[in-house]
Amino acid sequence: MTTTPERTARRPLVLELHEGDRTMAGLLGGKGAGLAEMSRLGLPVPPGFIVTTEACRAWLSGGGEPDGLWEQIEAAMLDLEQRSGLRFGDPDAPLLVSVRSGARFSMPGMMETVLDVGMTDSVAAALVDRGEDRFAWDSYRRLVQMYGRTVLGVDGTLFDEQLTRLRQETGAATDAELDAAALERLTGVFRRIFQERTGEDLPQDPREQLRRAVVAVFASWNGERARLYRAHEGIPDDLGTAVNVVQMVFGNRGDRSGSGVCFTRDPVSGAPGVFGDYLPNAQGEDVVSGSRSPMDLSELGRREPALHEELSVHLRTLEQHYRDLCDVEFTVERGRLWILQTRLGKRSPAAAFRIAVELVDEGVIDLDEALTRVDGTQLQTLLHPTFTTEEGLTPLAHGLAASPGAAYGQLVFDSATAMAWTALGRQVVLARPETSPDDFGGLLAARAVITSRGGLTSHAAVVARGLGRTCVTGVEGLLVDPVARMATLPGGVSLPEGIVVSVDGTRGEVYAGQRDIEPSPVSTAISQGVSHSPDRTVRAVLTLLAHADLRRQLGVMANAETPEEARAARCFGAEGIGLCRTEHMLLGARRVLVERLVTDDDREGALAEIEALALTEFTALLEAMEGLPVVVRLLDPPMHEFLPDLVELSVTAALADERGTLDAALERRLSTTRRWHESNPMLGLRGVRLLTVLPQVIDAQVRALVEATITLRAAGHDVRPELMVPLVADVAELTAARERMEGIVADVASAHDTSLHLPIGVMVELPRAALTAAALAEHADFFSFGTNDLTQTTWGMSRDDAEANFLAAYREAGILATDPFKTLDEAGVGALVELAARDGRRARPGLGLGACGEHAGDPASIGFFARTGLDYLSCSPPRIPVVRLEAGRQAVLLAGAATSDTR
Ligand code: PEP
Ligand code: MG
């Protein structure tokens, strides 16, 4: 295409492949940028052009087709005709094109594609005349099918049913076995379905086909599964998709033709060596959909060694150029190789670690870059347990190990049931003949996925790996009947809906019943503190964790109360306890102590017991964390969690009254419960408010901590306790509590003829605390952001009820992309954290800053805490490795951003 000055001077609506490169994914989409880059590298890419995301955004904004779009497409088509030596709609030398979506971020299978655009009755007739009848009808039926479904919204299953029926009637095991006559018949049937459903026939003007296909691809950006996928992946809704219009090359043109998908390394294990699937006499979507089981790429090597070698050379070129695992789609047309797509390959979490570290070993990237190639979420999935090895256990079925992991659940056969049962709190395993993008909701909901058809690059395999779901594809002999809600296996084994099965995605096996599960080797290695492992993935995780520790600015502490938890946290690399929730020491049978605490006539006894208990527990905890800080938070018991349920107790009392068995003790219990009952317990008598109403609690807890400290230090232990005041809203609450605490510390210390300094911090977990941070900082040695309560009170949403009552509806309505109780809401809650951090540090330079809400352990929130300059994060013990890794990664990313800012 000759680039007219007008076109480039105006908005770039259409670009030819050689006009773009890999850096232009925003404008050309990932697929388009990849094609452009490959053309630049001289790889055999068919000629084509790209309708930009700019054009799509203009269309999506409701203004219709942007001015000049069709003129630019026409010009680009003329150029494409020249380059290919073919002509659009010309029966003698027909040019057919593919019209494919391609957004900036990969959204595999979530949007639409129309292939074989340009096929018409006269083109088909001419091909038949030239003896290419099978190819003509196979291409034609594909166009009718895809155009009907994508452009005109005909239900795709109507076509699929006819295809299945035709295979049954003709005895063909696969589509490739259907002959020309059968495919001609099928094309006719498809066209009748098309006409009945839409009232129109397939346009015979190829330009009209193209125009409507491009618009349909634009529209698919807002299709339901695309929106769902974006919401899950956090991809913004306003990017739009590019449309790639490329000359068709045909893998369905006989036995020396075929299509394949391959990776420059194994995307499941990360092992080096080319890896992939190839289907002879087929088009690309046949490989990806899993509708026929493909052969291993090595088989192509045996059949066509020169071609295999050529492919291998291109794969090496791509991996060296991109310095990472590449995923490549290719087609062979009558012995000639064409590369149709490349992108960075999706990989399992295990492969991500292994590949990153092996690229370092190979001198391709450095450790900093390797750290940015993995993330905390991936590590989290590797810490998942695996099945306990059980001798003699026979699998029900074998398949391909498509995505590693161990999971069990009740078998379901459709995505709707998978989602519905999961919402009821059940664990499900989704079994499908093969999955399609419509199954995304089911893949997301299920613990594991099994399919009877499809290879390691099938839709199910690719999506499950990305999501970290356990997946086995191509399960031999499995027949799934979603209508009868039943699956069968060879030998007459039947598996009805609801039966429990276990799925081993690492070995590719399915077992009857629920199997025992054991900790992951990665988690075991980290907690045992080993520094080397023969297992490549374990070794890679240990290497990158060690590097993350060198790079991270954030300290990593644990939320823990018991010595067992503390020891586990230490093994995982915790650098102290950032939050000891002392009310957790009063759970179970000890709950009654809180009840007695608030009952006037038994308070002294309860306080004495609480103090004695605290002494024992603090002593054990401090000892377990010897040499490291332990932040003890004063009592913060939401009353409704500790007192009896008022309704239940009232009923019990009423029944007792009726029977004449109501005694004084029950009456007193009822009156205490009534007295302390709260309508909004999460906004009630908690934290510093309880300590203000019953300051003796401060005395008991602080005395116990100081006694434990003095005794342990006297015995030579290096113990480092700190104190923290919860739920403070006003500085006067803090100063009163602090004065009382310091008085007790001084009294106990002087009774032991010693002196003691305990740092005293405040939890910033109410908006008012954040807004008055400067005043609080005058009286606090550190702030710890309690983002659970801060989220609850900033949003005014109950942290206990919001998820069950309305958050799902909010996500569905697109109001919230994520759960704010899981991933920090940077715009609102984050703004308060930033404000408090800034004002606090201004008032007291050197003020310690940490966070201890659930968000501190959420990989997606850690970047925010790193950017805000916190000193430490405190999370539950199992998440410590995740936080260490993510904190290191964020430090590298931040340093990179800082360097590029100063350039
Ligand atoms: C918080 O509110 O974030 C917090 C850590 O305290 P808790 O969860 O115990 O209320
Ligand atoms: Mg709290």
Query: Which of 43-47, 276-280, 721-725, 837-841 shows the lowest per-residue confidence on average (mean pLDDT)?
Result: 276-280
| C-alpha of 531 from chain center | 28
Q: Kindly report the number of other CB atoms within 10 A of residue 210's CB atom.
A: 24
Ligand 2: centre distance to CA 726 (Å): 7
Examine the pLDDT at 9 and tell me if it is beyond 60.
no
Examine the pLDDT at 804 and tell me if it is beyond 80.
no
pLDDT digits (tens, 9 = 90+) for 145-192: 999 999 999 998 999 999 999 999 999 887 878 999 999 999 999 999
Pocket lining: 765 vs ligand 1, CB cutoff 6 Å: yes
How far apart CA 547 and CA 549 sit, in angstroms, is 5
Ligand 2: centre distance to CA 879 (Å): 19
Q: Which atom of ligand 1 is nearest to the CA of 786?
A: 3
Pocket lining: 581 vs ligand 1, CB cutoff 6 Å: yes
Percent of the chain at pLDDT exceeding 90? 70
Ligand 1: centre distance to CA 763 (Å): 9
For residue 683, give the nearest of 743, 605, 610, 768 by alpha carbon: 768
Contacts of residues 811-817 at CB distance under 8 Å and 24 or more positions apart, as own/partner, are 811/231, 814/227, 814/231, 814/237, 817/231, 817/234
| pLDDT value, residue 750 | 97
Pocket lining: 641 vs ligand 1, CB cutoff 6 Å: no
pLDDT digits (tens, 9 = 90+) for 608-631: 999 999 999 999 999 999 999 999
Pocket lining: 582 vs ligand 1, CB cutoff 6 Å: no
Ligand 1: centre distance to CA 275 (Å): 48
In terms of C-beta density within 10 A (0-12 exposed, 13-18 middle, 19 or more buried), how is residue 327 classed?
buried
How far apart CA 615 and CA 625 sit, in angstroms, is 15
584, 788, 858, 873, best to mutate for ligand 1 pocket (most atoms within 8 Å of CB): 788
| pLDDT value, residue 108 | 79
Residue with tokens 């990806």: 288
Q: Which atom of ligand 1 is nearest to the CA of 559?
A: 5
852, 855, 879, best to mutate for ligand 1 pocket (most atoms within 8 Å of CB): 852
Whole-number mean pLDDT of the chain? 91
| pLDDT value, residue 457 | 63
CA angle 219–221–223, rounded 5-degree value: 80
Ligand 2: centre distance to CA 831 (Å): 18
Examine the pLDDT at 437 and tell me if it is beyond 70.
no
Q: Which atom of ligand 1 is nearest to the CA of 579?
A: 5
| pLDDT value, residue 585 | 85
Q: Which atom of ligand 1 is nearest to the CA of 784?
A: 5
Ligand 1: centre distance to CA 805 (Å): 21
Mean pLDDT of 588-617: 89
| pLDDT value, residue 622 | 98
- Annotate 119-141 with b (16+ C-beta within 10 A) or e (fewer): bbeebbebbbeeebbbbbbbbbb
| pLDDT value, residue 530 | 87
For residue 763, give the nearest of 788, 795, 794 by alpha carbon: 788
**What secondary structure does DSSP assign to 734-788, as a single string?**
HHHHHHHHHHHHHHHHHHTT------EEEEE-SHHHHHTHHHHHTT-SEEEE-HH
Ligand 2: centre distance to CA 791 (Å): 10
Residue nearest to atom 4 of ligand 1 (CA): 786
The H or E element containing residue 733 is helix 731-751
DSSP, res 854: G
Examine the pLDDT at 287 and tell me if it is beyond 70.
yes
**Catalytic residue list:** 459, 852
DSSP, res 826: I
How far apart CA 784 and CA 871 sit, in angstroms, is 10
β-strand partners of 88: 95
pLDDT digits (tens, 9 = 90+) for 466-518: 566 889 988 988 999 988 999 999 888 899 999 999 999 878 999 999 998 88
Pocket lining: 583 vs ligand 1, CB cutoff 6 Å: no
Asked whether the whole model's pTM tops 0.85, one would answer no
| H-type alpha helices, 172-283 | 180-198, 206-220, 224-233
| pLDDT value, residue 735 | 98
Pocket lining: 852 vs ligand 1, CB cutoff 6 Å: yes
Q: Which atom of ligand 1 is nearest to the CA of 636?
A: 9
* Phi-psi group of 183: left, alpha or beta (phi > 0 → left; psi -120 to 50 → alpha; rest → beta): alpha
Residue nearest to atom 3 of ligand 1 (CA): 786
Closest ligand by atom to 633 CA: 1
Closest ligand by atom to 852 CA: 1
Pocket lining: 853 vs ligand 1, CB cutoff 6 Å: yes
Pocket lining: 787 vs ligand 1, CB cutoff 6 Å: yes
Pocket lining: 50 vs ligand 1, CB cutoff 6 Å: no
Pocket lining: 427 vs ligand 1, CB cutoff 6 Å: no
β-strand partners of 398: 509
- Annotate 624-648 with b (16+ C-beta within 10 A) or e (fewer): bbeebbbbbbbbbbbbbebbbeeee
Pocket lining: 789 vs ligand 1, CB cutoff 6 Å: yes
For 583, 611, 781, the CA distances from 697, given in Å and listed in that order, are 11, 9, 22
Residue nearest to atom 1 of ligand 1 (CA): 786
Ligand 1: centre distance to CA 785 (Å): 9
Pocket lining: 786 vs ligand 1, CB cutoff 6 Å: yes
Mean pLDDT of 595-610: 89
559, 561, 577, 581, best to mutate for ligand 1 pocket (most atoms within 8 Å of CB): 581
pLDDT digits (tens, 9 = 90+) for 860-890: 999 999 999 999 999 988 889 999 999 999 9
What are 88's two structure tokens?
A: 């659009």
| pLDDT value, residue 637 | 87
For 148, 571, 582, 623, 879, the CA distances from 718, given in Å and listed in that order, are 75, 19, 22, 8, 26
Examine the pLDDT at 4 and tell me if it is beyond 70.
no
Q: Which atom of ligand 1 is nearest to the CA of 638?
A: 10
Ligand 2: centre distance to CA 767 (Å): 12
